[in-house]
A and B are shown apart, each in its own frame.
Chain A
Amino acid sequence: MSIARDVLVVEKVNKSFHDPVTVQVLKDVSLRVAPGEFVSITGKSGCGKSTLLYILSTMDTDFDGDVVIDGERTAGLGGERLAAIRNEKIGFVFQFHYLLPEFSVLRNVMLPGLKLGRKAAVEVEADAMERLRELDMADQALKMANQLSGGQKQRVAIARALINDPLIIMGDEPTGNLDKRNADTVFDIFQRIAAEHKRSLLIVTHDPDFAARTDRNIVMDDGRIVR
């Protein structure tokens, strides 16, 4: 395989919900994300874009078709291996569920790094501080997570997503709950991650401005990729 292989390959993914009646939400979805590529997914509510994202994130395993992350097929892998893939190769940014309220900002950022266990705790802490500094949040490091504003929380969540140097960062409407100014900040951060760190980004969004500024915009409608 070439060095510049695609970090994410999706082949003919189908998914149906069966409760209360069978509805097919994803129909033969295929896509690829190259290293360093900033991709957005847009579409109407209920078009299946979030469902697709959770399948790609390995958290949802109930689907047909193939998802290959960094050359590894996820179908048939055990929960433990999938958790390890999420930990090491995928960074997450959600719309609402930002941080663990019981922990300090710094600790929130550190947790996935400590779980990975590749570095000593002090190194993870130094990395976490570095990430926070890049995102202008270093001075908030020792605050509790629930003392921050929404925009600040989202920046901390991004720092957390970056702690293990993941291959791809996935976001489910990460700016959906933020005002224009904060949304722009988050977008700039994402762009910088793609450009400077050469990380791929796959962001589901409602915001047409946001989508327009990404490298590639995937549009979904009724479970299919239309563009």
Chain B
Amino acid sequence: MKLLLSIALTLLRAKLRQSIVAAVGVMFSITMFVALLGFMNGLNDLLDGLILNRTPHIRLFNELQASPQQPIALDQGNDSVAENRAAHHFVRSVKPKDDLPRLRNGEAIMQAMERDPRVLAVSPRLVAQVFFNVGTVDLNGQVSGIDVAQETRHYRFADHLIQGDPKDLATGSNTLVLGKGLADMMAAEIGETVQVTTATGDRAMLRVVGIFQSGIADYDKVQCYANIRTVQKLLARPGGYYTDINLKLHDLATAPAMARELAARFKVDAVDIQTANAQFETGTTVRTIISYAVGVVLLIVAGFGIYNILNMMIYEKLDTIAILKATGFNGADVRRIFLLLSMIIGLVGGISGLIGGLVLQMLIDHLPFNTAALPTITTFPVDYSARYYTIAVTFALLTTWVAGWFPARKASRVDPVEIIRGK
């Protein structure tokens, strides 16, 4: 094998320029493949992160709805009377039962979830519908009371604060972070005080300590954040009063099953991230498929380049092949020599392609990219995942092997007598 390798290398050196052209073809395709997929996936992660990072894996809440069992259905009547047994109840225009939108036993659920080994983080929320009173105008708004430290750590709350510091929200009382759209409408700035009216008519003055931008304009026009204690106070509710409990899990994939389990266990509504955001996964999948398709086409084109060059080389090297065969190299040896040749081109091109891909990725990573939707992003996102490098190199070796195999087989079948007598 060592001998065959040295012969392959010598032949390669003799046709250095063509070999380099072939290797550059592979290099170019690998570079593009790695850079394209890294960039595409960086964008994917960024776009998905816009929603998914802020979305809990499971949200426990209490939806206002009609009682599934109307009291009249419980009435069995007098079973001994035959006509009662056959009777049906008709109840029309059923209304939701009069119930607070709170989670019952919120504290107990919190504690149980904190002990659950599957759960990474538990954070409560209290959502209140409010009006902002700006002069004579009332603006509709929604204040989410949050555990600021947890939300910052697990839901990237701070990433979307374009002004202010999350610490001010965590420590101060009666403080508020306004959505960008809402702040613009009210012309409110940090340090100013805004007046809010709750649905029940209570009024309070809250100090603005930050401006928040999610990237979704409609959301930013209504959404505000406050410390959960502030909202409890605003609604005049006690400390254990939550409307939502958000869970972040260690394993995202278990969310649907666990949501069903928790819904049954705590008798609450539970929505998992997959159900809530099915469309994002679809978009990601389609984008990934497209970038892989382009990348693989690039590699196949490079494979054709190698195929052509090896074919040409074999025609030029017929004499060499004939002499090798005449002096005792068999067909398999000749095939291995040309296959090795192809694999060397693939390997050299592949490795330089990986380096090129890394350089191109770093270049993209430094290109400025400013968008209103993503206040903390200043350059194009790139995913440097080793996965693309592995796939690229595997594919490069695979295509060069296939591209080399056919010419190599042709070379192995060269009849030395024909070549030697042909002159």
Interface residues of A (CB under 8 A from B): 50, 54, 57, 59-60, 79-80, 82-84, 86-88, 92, 94-97, 99-103, 107, 111-112, 114-117, 160, 164, 172
Contacts and interface: CB of A to CB of B under 8 A. Distances in A.
Contacts of A54: 417, 420-421
Interface stretch (B8-16, B204-212, B290-298, B402-410): B8-16
Interface residues on B, range: 20 to 34
A158 to B, nearest CB: 13
Interface in B397-423: 415-417, 419-421, 423
Interface of B: 3, 7, 10-11, 13-14, 319-320, 322-333, 415-417, 419-421, 423
A102 B13 contact: yes
Contact of A116 (B13, B328, B423): B328
A59 B417 contact: yes
B330 A80 contact: yes
Nearest to B322: A97
Given A54-B417, A114-B3, A100 B320 contact: yes
A172 B420 CA distance: 10
A215 to B, nearest CB: 25
Given A79-B331, A97-B420, A114-B3, A103 B326 contact: no
B13 A87 contact: no
A27 B391 CA distance: 61
Nearest to A88: B328
A103 B331 CA distance: 20
Given A60-B417, A94-B420, A102-B13, A115 B326 contact: no
A80 B332 contact: yes
Given A103-B10, A111-B3, A160-B327, 12 more contacts: A59-B416, A83-B328, A83-B330, A84-B328, A94-B420, A96-B423, A100-B320, A100-B323, A102-B320, A107-B10, A115-B329, A164-B328
A221 B417 CA distance: 21
A112 B328 CA distance: 7
Contacts of B419: 97
Nearest to B334: A83
A100 B13 CA distance: 13
A102 B19 CA distance: 15
Given A100-B324, A102-B10, A83 B420 contact: no
Contacts, number: 76
A209 B399 CA distance: 57
Contact of A102 (B3, B11, B322, B423): B11
A59 B333 CA distance: 16
B328 A87 contact: yes
24 contacts: A50-B421, A54-B420, A59-B415, A80-B331, A83-B328, A83-B330, A86-B326, A86-B328, A87-B329, A92-B326, A94-B326, A94-B420, A95-B423, A96-B420, A97-B322, A97-B323, A97-B326, A102-B10, A102-B11, A102-B14, A107-B10, A111-B324, A111-B327, A117-B3
Contacts of B333: 83, 115
Given A54-B417, A102-B11, A115 B327 contact: yes
User: Max chain B CB contacts within 10 Å: which of A80, A99, A100, A114?
Assistant: A100
Contacts of B319: 97
Contacts of A100: 320, 323-324
Given A102-B13, A103-B10, A112 B327 contact: yes
A84 B327 CA distance: 9
A97 B423 contact: yes
A199 B416 CA distance: 24
A176 B325 CA distance: 22
A112 B326 CA distance: 10
A101 B323 CA distance: 11
